[in-house]
Amino acid sequence: MSNDSKLTKNEERVLFGIVKYPNKSDKFLARYLKMKDSTVNYCRNQLEKHNMFQVVYLPILNRLGFELLCINFAEYNLKIALNKRKSAISKDIKMADDVFLRIGDPEKEFSISFNKNYSEFFKNTQTRLKKMGELGILIKNPENIIFPINYSVIHNFFDYSRLLSQSFSIKNEDLTIQDGELYKQDPLKTPKNSWFFSNHELVNLSQKEKAVFVALIKFPNHSIKEIAELTDISLNRNTISKMRQKFLNDGLMQKIIIPNLDLIGFQLLVYYHFRFRPDKPTTKEIIQNLNSPTNILFSYNQFEAVILCAFRNYSEYKSDKVQKYSFLNSHEILGKSPEPRKYLFSNLEYIRKRKFNFRLLSRNI
């Protein structure tokens, strides 16, 4: 148990369990975590009551015609007063439908978006750049990293289970099911990291299916009854329930749990961007050495990688950095050696009401 965690030991275990298996019942989690059903239920309610996690229905957008995962990093013009900068960003800059996560601190920001093609990406980024330029917010052009989904690997997409397992010191012997055991029993439960965005078969949804799909993403905490009562749905609860299950089984969406790390003792969010030498493309060994449990986003292709990590303290960050850079430098892999960008959770601002917001993006389906 981490010394700075604000959770009890049981709450830590339950938070790990619902992150690992977001679709599973409390009864399953009780067996998995070796706990009583009532204890799991109580801890889940406490975690929810204190806003310790966010429920997200993640659309698997490459199945619906989106080709690009885009990551943008920008540094602010510090000559502009902080309050003026915040006001301009929150009120004057219209958030395009492609951005689902945008995070800033007093000096810099990064955002993550999906786009259907390069033309759409160019149009969206040019519009934002022009607006921010007019407001005098930026000191130089942002850094854009583009990952064509069909030609990249998204190894970890906001799956926090390994991070929490390490942070809460939850070992395999503490669990009834080991990694891979459940997946052998049910192929539909393949580990998230192995199938997120890896199936590129396009799917066309009917208008009614689109309406339900968008509603589920827009209102992830709504019950089936509440979704059915939306004026633009006009379907009964049984039909909507079957649609949701079909979307999940067919790999068109995935329920994920996003823990609020700042509330459980994490201090640092760190952004790495690596470019590899043309004569040293990625190998299995490189990926294994970069894929630490602290990674909550890991996207790469042959010559480039972006990693987002979370740490409880600066000491953990330094240890992770030394491990990554020691390997990369000893094998002379890097085309350049950039300094990681660090964000304090205490200074972070999510430039949208919800930390992970696919509701605008879903309108383009």
Query: Which tokens hold the place of 305?
Result: 């990688």
pTM of the model: 0.87
Contact predicate 267/346, CB 8 Å? yes
User: Can you list the domains of the chain with their CATH numbers?
Assistant: 261-347 (3.30.70.100)
What does the pLDDT read at residue 188?
Answer: 41
The pLDDT value given to residue 353 = 54
Residue 302 and residue 283 in contact, taking contact as beta carbons nearer than 8 Å: no
Give the per-residue pLDDT at 3.
45
Answer positive or negative: Cα dihedral of 92, 271, 18, 152: positive
Location of structure tokens 């006001």: 87
Q: What angle in degrees, to the nearest 10, is found between the helix axes of 26-33 and 9-20?
A: 120
Question: How many degrees, rounded to 5, is the angle at CA 293 between CA 291 and CA 335?
Answer: 30
pLDDT for position 190: 42
Q: Which residue has the tokens 């823990």?
A: 259
Instruction: Say what the pLDDT of residue 351 is.
Output: 61
**209 closest CA partner among 253, 262, 150, 172:** 253
Q: Where are the alpha helices (DSSP H) in the chain?
A: 9-20, 26-33, 37-49, 82-87, 118-134, 161-167, 181-185, 192-195, 207-218, 224-228, 237-249, 284-290, 314-330, 359-362
Q: How far is CA 7 from CA 3, 11, 47, 260, 313, in A?
A: 10, 6, 9, 12, 17
Average pLDDT, 10 consecutive residues per value, the chain (365 residues): 70 96 92 94 95 91 91 85 69 69 85 92 88 82 91 90 93 73 46 62 90 90 90 86 91 91 92 92 90 93 93 95 92 85 86 68 74
99 HSE (CA, 13 A, CB side):
23
pLDDT at 183: 47
